[in-house]
A and B are shown apart, each in its own frame.
Chain A
Amino acid sequence: MSKVQTILNHLTVVLGMMFLVFLILDQFNPLMDFTDNPVSRILLAVLCLCGIIQSLSTRH
């Protein structure tokens, strides 16, 4: 597995787990805005890109 794929794998897992934590925390305290703030939106975009790149790379 190439280094890029390894990094993408780890990045996807880390970002995915972060957002699971955010979603749980927002249930307890919506005030804190864990999922809906500028930084989280950037992280979400990165997670989406990782998922798309990984998906496309596994097709070939």
Chain B
Amino acid sequence: MKKKFIRGLLADLLLTATALTVFALFHHVLPRQQESLGIVIENPYASRDEQEGSRAVWPEDALLTASGSMSDAGVRAAAEGKHSGGGQGGGSSQKGGSALTEGGTQESGAADAVPLSEKFADKYTDTVVITDTSYTSPDISITVTEEHSGKITYYLADIYVRDITCFQSALAKNAYGSGYRDSVAGMAALSNALLAVNGDYYGNTREGVVIRNGVIYRANRTDCDVCVLYYDGTMRVMPGSEFSVEDAVADGAWQAWTFGPALLDTDGSVLTSFSSTNRIISANPRTAIGYYEPGHYCLVVVDGRGESDGITLPALSQLFHDLGCTAAYNLDGGNSSVMVWQDAVINDPSGGGRESSDALLIAEVNDHE
């Protein structure tokens, strides 16, 4: 009788292991394309010059308001598929969670009446200049530094872009769906990226918003904060419930990520409490994006689970506040946190790093001598 019971239990364990393996294969491992909304948001600032070729330019004469609202240029969206403001109901699962309450959208930075072309003129160079820690060109200025704060090591990429289309996303295997993965270095190499970090690993879930390079792939409900980067250079972090496809199209969304949480409050102040699990809030390797004002951003990758201790969400919030950012957003972390600079992984990824479904890149879009 006892032997029969033990045999039955072992059989159950074996069946459970088999079922879990099959489940994981179909849920996460095997590549599977997902249905995409396929809504294309055109760049309202793109101009076609026969002499210069097709390129995207900043609104040279546009003066930004405090809200960072777009200029008079309109936005057209060519809908190629379903146009949905929401999708399947979101569950209670949280990626990075949410730190903003409804109505708590982080707007852009302070008002400034200086045209963009003059604003950061001292950051750019007429020709490409490359050093070990910097890259400057007529459209891009990047400075990468390794910083130490106590037992925490992090890498800070200070970024100025004159053309927002230099701030790109890459999808693993150039495919949208679950199970598609590639190393950040691999995606950076394919895109000739100057700088790359892992993204929000959208392929691991079906919820949330995915906008990459002006295409809305997904706009499902989510409990997480959503970060949107617009064609006019502004960046907003909002509760997931406040995102709408119509607004994204009207406001000219260029990129959008779903992971979170927001790292700064609506007025740019430090956040000390986050509605997420203790494991997510505690010290971990992290990747995050910071926003100062249109055209000026930063990417931070924090090492952890090794010689570096990793960083908690409250401490990361403090870091972005100390950097002077007006908005900041947490991306996928842990073993995913990787920064690639000049074709090399420069941080110490936990566990050797992990392939991801997407990456954030800074790459030239115009030819420079």
Binding site for B on A (CB under 8 A): 10, 13-14, 17-18, 21, 26-28, 30-37, 39
In the complex, which residues of chain A have a beta carbon less than 8 angstroms from the beta carbon of B92?
Answer: 36
A-B contacts, 21 listed (Cβ < 8 Å): A10-B11, A10-B12, A14-B19, A17-B12, A18-B16, A18-B23, A26-B93, A30-B93, A30-B94, A30-B95, A30-B277, A30-B280, A31-B93, A31-B205, A31-B259, A32-B28, A33-B204, A33-B205, A36-B91, A36-B93, A39-B26
In the complex, which residues of chain A have a beta carbon less than 8 angstroms from the beta carbon of B32?
Answer: none
- B206 in the interface (beta carbon within 8 A): yes
The answer for the CA separation of A30 and B332 in the assembled complex, in Å, is 12
Main secondary structure of the interface of A (DSSP, over half): helix
Number of interface residues of B (CB under 8 A): 29
Q: Are A28 and B279 in contact (CB under 8 A)?
A: yes
In B248-301, which residues have CB < 8 Å from any A CB?
259, 276-277, 279-280
- B232 in the interface (beta carbon within 8 A): no
The answer for the CA separation of A18 and B23 in the assembled complex, in Å, is 10
Q: Are A37 and B27 in contact (CB under 8 A)?
A: yes
Q: Are B12 and A27 in contact (CB under 8 A)?
A: no
The answer for the CA separation of A34 and B91 in the assembled complex, in Å, is 11
Looking at the assembled complex, report how far the CB atom of A28 sits from the nearest CB atom of chain B, in whole angstroms: 6
In the complex, which residues of chain A have a beta carbon less than 8 angstroms from the beta carbon of B91?
Answer: 33, 35-36
In the complex, which residues of chain B have a beta carbon less than 8 angstroms from the beta carbon of A34?
Answer: 27
List the 6 closest pairs (A to B, CB-CB), nearest first: A36-B91, A30-B93, A17-B16, A13-B12, A31-B95, A14-B15
In the complex, which residues of chain B have a beta carbon less than 8 angstroms from the beta carbon of A37?
Answer: 27, 206
Q: Are A31 and B12 in contact (CB under 8 A)?
A: no
In the complex, which residues of chain A have a beta carbon less than 8 angstroms from the beta carbon of B205?
Answer: 31-33
- B154 in the interface (beta carbon within 8 A): no
Looking at the assembled complex, report how far the CB atom of B41 sits from the nearest CB atom of chain A, in whole angstroms: 26
